[in-house]
Amino acid sequence: MDTFIKEIDQKKSVQDDQFPLFSDMATAGHEQVLVCSRPDVGLKAIIAIHDTTLGPALGGTRMWTYKNESDAMRDVLRLSRGMTYKAAISGLNLGGGKAVIIGDPYKDKNEHLFRAFGRFVDGLGGRYITAEDVGMSEQDMEWIYSETKYVTGIPKSMGGSGDPSPVTAYGVYMGMKSATKKAYGSDSLKGKKIAIQGAGNVASNLARYIAKEGATIYITDIFKEKAEKVAAECSAAYVSPDEIYGLDADIFSPCALGGVVNDDTLPALNCDIIAGGANNILEDEVKHGNALSDRGIIYAPDYVINAGGIINISSELEGYNEELAMRKTARIYDTVTNILDYADENSLTTVEASNRLAEERIESTGRTGRIYSSSSHFSNRKGELYMRDRR
């Protein structure tokens, strides 16, 4: 999903340089970007709606200590575009959006900030539906929910789905098994050496799934104590952050930061499969996607196998059912299988194959109308959110 950043640089004209934001939006295909400011409560946020061809834009809000506003803007444009592809390839009637709040999630949170943000979300009238992401908590989402009904991932006690991490991890697990079947002829993870980068909620739940199958697990995190705790629970081995890339492993599973497969790390990789829950694992999806293909490393596109989160929270739009959400997430296995087969049949990288299939779905739906209008899909009942079946 990072390729468009390079495309932006290549396509700008002198006139475009006078309006770089509009140039970036046009190149990436974004419909709307909202800059939100409430200095009195410390709110600086950006909401990006990428594409609403398939339905309202759904995507989480993350709170992060960006170095500057440009980094925040690039991140929200990149992430919102990725959500469009994630929803499309997962068969959801949803578009892609994302929001970022600029600030330290450990120091800068307060109720008034999140309530103010909720009012901005509400002002979009349902074109954007938010959810929990990096740096956010269920309490933060409760505060946002107090100002707008266009929120998913609220606590189960309030009728929502709660923390989506266990479902995200399950989707990564199913995608990993599909890639394993492609590489080895069997989807069993018993005896497979799996290197997990990260020890957060998704990574720890993933480790539990693969430990039950008898995999040999290596795990790392920049916070050593977190990794050691997961390692102890799952009979895994802790390794340092720098060691994780060069391990002799069958599967490398990045579940923390993006851009970890890059010019510096790629030569060190010694695995057959890359399948992880992090977003934007490839620093350059074209360059590094081709490099992995040339080396015979199977890459399960990240936005496909980590789609369990959006599948889970999207279920709230029709009344949350955990069992149904898990069944839908299990289909990630078949989706990955289809992508890997399509890539082989058409001599494409797995990223190219996945992007093409997602774009075909968006294009076919787009013939009947592009821009999403919330009025025909959401009820007017305060505090409740419904979406009609658009199939």
Please write down the HEC assignment for all residues of 126-156: CCEEECECCCCCHHHHHHHHCCCCCECCCCH
Q: Phi and psi at residue 375, in whole multiples of 5°?
A: -65, -30
What dihedral do alpha carbons 306, 1, 362, 25 form, nearest 10°? 130
Report d(CA 391, CA 382) in Å as an integer: 26
Report d(CA 167, CA 312) in Å as an integer: 7
Ranges of beta strands (E only) in the chain are: 32-38, 43-51, 57-58, 61-64, 95-102, 128-129, 193-197, 216-220, 237-238, 251-254, 273-274, 298-299
Q: Is 200 helix (H, G, I), strand (E, B) or coil?
A: coil
Burial of 343 (0-12, 13-18, 19+ CB in 10 A): buried
Question: Which pair of structure tokens corresponds to residue 160?
Answer: 């929502």
Residue from 11, 12, 67, 98 carrying the catalytic annotation: 98
Report d(CA 31, CA 195) in Å as an integer: 39
Q: Assess whether 181 carries a catalytic annotation.
A: no
Question: Which pair of structure tokens corresponds to residue 234?
Answer: 């799952």
- The catalytic residues are 98
